[in-house]
Structure 1
């Protein structure tokens, strides 16, 4: 995959200490990764790079929203996302990213690309089950919800069937509860 230049940090010229970077992630970023689940994206990434003499510490913090489709109604809505992640960049003989929060770069490397970490951080911040907030509070008016309500089993019918049972069985039901 081609690396995006705006997410490459040349750390060789930075002084020891903390450095702040800000990025704005939009839909084009996910098109680069060929990820098509989002309709629209508006996320701010705040990155604090703490350069030390032998390693780099990166603290990612994302906040914003992604526009996705509801799993129940397929209605688009803005899902707020927030997430944080810490990454330690060390230097060694060869490139190694097997550990989740430790990246080892070869000696002599002068820059680090963070686009994959931002991508994963945003994807993992989105809930697995995507439900429109209007479904949860009952304010969403959708044809799909009306059809689901129409086709759902009725609880009243079940209670009516229980009431039609011969009353002599009620004493047997008491035996089950008297244990």
Structure 2
């Protein structure tokens, strides 16, 4: 992660108490993770780093948007991002990140990189189903939406009931009578 050096926090020599860090996230950040789901992005991440004598408390807050295609119409729109993440950093004999809320760093560590946590927080805050706000409130005018409405109205048209041969109806009755 040498290209993400700006996300390293060197905690050795840092005095105890609160420290604030801010990061401006755009698509170049996601390129480091080979993630290309967003057409564009503009997210401001603030990190409140509280150093205590035996552990660190990290509170991340992300606000901004990512531009994504609507799953219904394919139209691009800005999906709002408003996410929080709390992380506790403790020390142990070896690195362990099995618990999503607690990170254990080896005693000899002097810095750690927060880029992965910022990446996961943002990506997980985007809904699985992305629907353009104009679809929800009915203000979006798109060819795809018009075609979907047309197809939906065509499926609701009542089709004439086909008449069946009465001999087949008798055979069907035999099957249902036999089951009872």
The alpha carbon displacement at 1:156 in A equals 6.1
Aligned pairs for 1:102-117 (under 5 A) are 102-117=102-117
State the 1:149 CA deviation.
1.1
Cα-to-partner distance string for 1:119-175 (whole Å, 9 max, x where unaligned): 0000111111100011111111111111111111458634x98xxxxxxxxxxxxxx
Rg larger for? 2
Q: Secondary structure at the match of 1:54?
A: coil
* Alignment match, 2:7: 7
Conservation of the 8 A alpha-carbon contact between 1:18 and 1:48: yes
Q: Is the 8 A contact 1:3 1:115 kept in 2?
A: no
Structure 1: 5+ residue stretches without partners = 162-179
After alignment, is 147-156 or 55-64 more displaced?
147-156
- The answer (yes or no) to whether the contact 1:3–1:113 under 8 Å persists in 2 is no
Q: Distance in 1 between matches of 2:97 and 2:156?
A: 57
Q: For the aligned residues, what is the CA RMSD?
A: 1.7
Deviations 1:33-88 (A, max 9, x none): 11111000100101000000011110001111000000011110001011111101
User: Cα distance 1:3–1:97, how it changes in 2: closer, same or farther (>3 A)?
Assistant: farther
State the partner residue of 1:61. 61
Q: TM-score, normalised by structure 1?
A: 0.85
Deviation at 1:114, TM superposition (A): 0.4
2:30 aligns with 30
CA contact (8 A) 1:61 1:84 kept: yes
